[in-house]
A and B are shown apart, each in its own frame.
Chain A
Amino acid sequence: MGARVVTARTGARGFSTPSPREVVLRYLLLVVALFVTVGPFLWQLSTSLKGAGEDVYTSTPSFVPSEPTLDNYARAFEAVPILGFAGNSLVVAGIVVVGNIVGATLAGYALARLRFRGARLVLGAILFTMLLPGEATIVAQYLTIRQLGLADTLLGVALPGAVGMLNVLLMRTAFVAVPKELDEAAIVDGANAWQRLWHVGVPNVLGMLAVVAIFAFIGAWDDFLWPLIVLTTPEKFTLTVGLEYLSGTFTNNPRVVAAGTMIAFVPIVVFFAALQRYFFRGVDEGAIKG
């Protein structure tokens, strides 16, 4: 890389070794928070692993399945083409993630770092639309997509969420936090706006980019009503819509439904686990210091 990468973090590393007492305290707090946040999910996981003979309805359900089985997962896979649905969901989520990363980064940078006539108007419009609830507009939204010829396509599902206004605001906040001095140094070096965005801005907002990517992915992955309305052909259904067939078929069989929700859940966890390191300040320690 011939380019000069500038980052905000210049801290000394020696400070990051905490005392043993602090480590113990931190783990204690971590475990408490862990209990609160994921305890309930383990119960769901446990339900999905319970065999047909096991009563999942007693008032004191046992946490550990007495006869653990993957049958429920097998049944879920048999009942509906889960992999095909998941593929469709990935396509939609992919479009939405890329759209948001590109769109929100560009707009967020311009709104945070470049002075131009109309900037306030754009920002005001973004806020205005965020504040007005959109619950009453879903049919109108569908007619728009239809006008574009995108009814019953995955692109039609993805498009309305492809650049989220909240994400533009998040990226703008991240860019505002980048020290102005870095920009000024780059200007002195003769860098134009695009170069400053790429070499000064982006390396300093990787954390927020990861946040935007995750929000976009989850929003696209979890949405139910919108893909249901846009899509008509069952082969194009996304996972949330497709899994509805499971809860319809196994109305009173929480084991299979639980297996279905776990299947839908895993990709999100993987995606998050892959990106979480970008939140961490140590990530760019390898980068060239400014």
Chain B
Amino acid sequence: MNSRRFGAAGLALAVLTVLPLGGCALDGTGGGEQTEAADASGEVTGEVTLQTWALKPSFTGYVEGVIDAFEKQYPGTTVTWLDQPGDGYSEKVLAQAAAGELPDVTNLPPDFALSLAREGLLTDLSTVDDTLADTYVAGALDAYRYGGIEGTYGYPWYLTTDLNYWNTEMLEEAGLDPARLPTTLDELVAQAQTMKDATGEYLMSRKPGLGDFAAAGLPVLSDDGTQFTFDTPEAAAILDVYRDAYADGLLPDDVLTDAYLGNSQLFTEGKVAWTTGGGNFIDSVLENNPSLEGKITSSPYIGATPLYVQGVSVSHGSDNPATALALAQFLTNAANQEEFAEQVPGIFPSTTSSQENPELAESDGTPQGAAKQIAFGNLTTARVLQPVEVTEAMVTIVNQQFAAAIAGDKTSAEALEAAVDECNKLLADQ
């Protein structure tokens, strides 16, 4: 290790290494050079650890089933399953990575994987598996390929997308036709105005984010991933539309501070007539507010359809790379993914062979089935809208600036410029 560089523990690290307590356990800390690529050709046997994110207790049975099948197919293997709670996952993975104890196979969304891949902590799968492109859909694989870094750093696992959901009762009360739902931002605002005039209720309840710019086909990040570029006049025009809508009272006040899930929460509460949500959104709404039964319809996302990818990555420091790779492949194979999708109506397999599966493409005639059909139908054109380089801190900055523009505290152009400046600073920090 270069003596001028310091790890995350700073002084602690620098001093601990000279104390007897120190020892070799520190080698795994980020910054140190990693050994050569994992040897994938070894025998598939022995122990590996699998870490998932927030699958317990709802999907305990499914994951345990997959693990049992894996252990049966490869006698002599033992899989230890760890599931981490939803909140604080990035902190947990970060501490694991800093301590050099990343589990062999870890469920990482693309943005987490990027940070770890940058430090050489993940296995480049393209060097050990040449069937990637045949097995997984391109859009999902792309989520684990990054500008400026060679390689593919995750097996795509399950996919989700967003579509529009509408409260038909509220629409009808306002004299709006649920058969003629808005398909553009301008139509959306026009219908929101109609609803406001007729019943005083809200249709819209969210402020735009970087994903909305991408959905409208506007640039967000430079191709090499080094500069944000969303301060365009077209983006300012979108913000202006929201600002005017807010000034006209078409958006509730709380949109200025509401976090990501604000509008789906309000929709569930029956307080707004429109939200976006995943393929199984109707069921989760009904569980919490049964009074909306039969009053929800869906339509495709406005603009480009967003794609959300979950995947599993293999630790570069795995002691048992061959088994880890086998497990990651097994977990994400078509059969296992299709069964998972069957259990969870809103998620879809990322395997190419599953895309023709008629069971996934068909609707059973219910509103839930229709939503699933729309979601699945748009998967082929869906793409990751918000760049994976965008961190939580950047989202906060963007939220603050967009809120200021919508509230009319500053012009849209000023807000965009400020957001780009701050986000570029954070990007340069990395």
What residues of chain A have their CB less than 8 Å away from a CB belonging to chain B? Answer: 52-53, 55, 57, 59, 79-80, 138-140, 142-144, 146-148, 151, 224-225, 228-229, 232-234, 241-242, 244-245, 247-249, 251-254
Extra 17 A-B pairs, beta carbons < 8 Å, given A139-B98, A140-B8, A229-B92: A79-B57, A139-B9, A139-B95, A142-B99, A143-B8, A143-B16, A143-B98, A143-B99, A144-B12, A148-B21, A151-B99, A232-B82, A245-B56, A248-B54, A248-B87, A249-B57, A252-B268
A260 CB to closest chain B CB, in angstroms? 12
CA of A79 to CA of B268, assembled, Å: 23
Query: Are B265 and A252 in contact, CB atoms less than 8 angstroms apart?
Result: yes
Q: Assess the A241–B95 pair: CB atoms within 8 A.
A: no
Contact with A along B81-101 (1 / 0, CB 8 A): 011111110011011101101
By the criterion CB–CB under 8 Å, are A229 and B56 in contact? no
What are 25 A-B pairs at a CB distance below 8 A?
Answer: A52-B290, A57-B270, A57-B289, A59-B271, A138-B95, A139-B94, A140-B8, A140-B12, A142-B95, A143-B13, A143-B98, A144-B9, A144-B12, A148-B21, A225-B88, A228-B84, A228-B92, A232-B82, A234-B82, A244-B85, A244-B86, A245-B85, A252-B268, A252-B284, A252-B287
| 0 or 1 for each of B279-291: is its CB under 8 Å from A? (1 = yes) | 0000011011111
Q: Is the CB of B98 within 8 A of A142?
A: yes
In the assembly, what is the distance between CA of A252 and CA of B263, in Å? 12
Q: Which residue of B lies closest to A55 (CB)?
A: B291
Cβ of B41 under 8 Å from chain A: no
Chain A residue contacts of B56, Cβ below 8 A: 80, 234, 245
Residues of B within 8 A of A244 (CB): 85-88
Report the Cα distance A192→B287, complex, angstroms. Answer: 68
Determine whether B357 belongs to the interface, using a CB cutoff of 8 Å to chain A: no
Chain B residues closer than 8 Å to A249, beta-carbon distance: 57-58
Smallest CB–CB gap between B401 and chain A, Å?
24
- Most chain A C-beta atoms within 10 Å of own C-beta, residue among B13, B54, B87: B87
A147/B21 in contact, CB under 8 A: yes
- Give complex CA distance A241, B87 in Å: 9
B99 with A252: CB separation less than 8 A? no
A-side contacts of B269, CB under 8 Å:
57
Minimal beta-carbon separation of A243 from chain B (angstroms): 9
Contact A229 to B95, CB < 8 A, known contacts A140-B9, A245-B56, A252-B284: yes
The answer on a CB contact under 8 Å between A251 and B58 is no
B116 CB to nearest chain A CB (Å): 15
How many residues belonging to B are interface residues under a CB distance threshold of 8 Å?
42
A79 CB contacts on chain B under 8 angstroms: 57
Q: Could you say which residues of chain B place their CB within 8 Å of the CB of A229? A: 88, 91-92, 95
- Answer whether residue B25 sits at the interface, using C-beta atoms and an 8 A cutoff: yes
Question: Which 6 residue pairs of A and B lie closest in terms of their CB atoms, listed nearest first?
Answer: A244-B85, A57-B269, A248-B86, A140-B9, A252-B288, A229-B95
Name which residue of chain A comes closest to B289, CB basis.
Answer: A57
By a CB distance below 8 angstroms, the chain A residues around B96 are 232
Q: Report the bound CA distance from A116 to B152 in whole Å.
A: 64
* Contact bitstring B117-159, A, C-beta under 8 A = 1, else 0: 0000000000000000000000000000000000000000000
B12, B265, B287: which contacts A143 (Cβ < 8 A)?
Answer: B12
| Pick from B26, B83, B285: contact of A234, CB under 8 Å | B83
Residue in chain A with minimal CB distance to B266: A57
With both chains docked as a complex, state the minimum distance between the C-beta of A235 and any C-beta of chain B, in angstroms. Answer: 11
The residues of B that contact A254 with a CB separation of less than 8 Å are 288
Q: Which residue of chain B has its CB nearest to the CB of A237?
A: B85
Partner of B22, one of A55, A80, A147, A251: A147
B358: A residues at CB distance < 8 A: none
Interface bits B227-241 vs A (CB < 8 Å: 1, else 0): 000000000000000
The residues of B that contact A144 with a CB separation of less than 8 Å are: 9, 12
- Selected contact of B10 from candidates A55, A59, A140, CB within 8 Å: A140
A245 to B54, CA, bound (A): 7
Task: Name which residue of chain A comes closest to B54, CB basis.
Answer: A248
B287 near A253 with CB under 8 A, answer yes
Chain A residues with CB under 8 A of B85: 228, 241-242, 244-245, 248
B20 to chain A, nearest CB (A): 11
Task: Give min CB distance, A7 to chain B, whole Å.
Answer: 46
- Residue pair B99, A247 in contact (C-beta under 8 Å): no
- Chain B residues in 8 Å Cβ range of A252: 265, 268, 284-285, 287-288
Q: How far is the CA of A104 from the CA of B98 in the complex (A)?
A: 33
Contacts of A253 in B (CB 8 A): 287-288
A228 and B57 form a contact (CB under 8 A): no
* Cβ contacts under 8 Å, B87 to chain A: 224, 228, 244, 247-248
Q: A146-B99, A253-B287 are in contact. Are A80 and B25 (CB under 8 A)?
A: no
The complex places the Cα of A241 from the Cα of B269 at a distance, in Å, of 27
A59 CB contacts on chain B under 8 angstroms: 271
Please provide the chain B residues from 274 to 323 with a CB less than 8 Å away from any CB of chain A in the complex. Answer: 284-285, 287-291
Q: A229-B92, A248-B54, A251-B284 are in contact. Are A139 and B268 (CB under 8 A)?
A: no
**B86–A228 CB distance below 8 A:** no
Contacts of B16 in A (CB 8 A): 143, 147
CB distance from B112 to the nearest CB of A (A): 15
Report the Cα distance A59→B91, complex, angstroms.
36
**In the bound complex, how far is the Cα of B288 from the Cα of A249, in angstroms?**
12
| Assembly CA distance A152 to B288 (angstroms) | 36
How far is B54's CA from A234's CA once the two chains are assembled, in angstroms? 12
Measured between beta carbons, the chain B residues less than 8 angstroms from A245 are 54, 56-57, 85
Q: Contact check: which of A53, A147, A234 meets B290 at CB < 8 Å?
A: A53
Least Cβ–Cβ distance between A226 and chain B, in angstroms: 10
For A52, A57, A146, A233, which residue has the most chain B Cβ atoms within 10 angstroms? A57
- State in angstroms the CA–CA spacing of A241 and B290 once bound together: 29
Q: Which of A151, A252, A254 has the most CB of B within 10 A?
A: A252
* In contact, A57 and B99 (Cβ under 8 angstroms): no
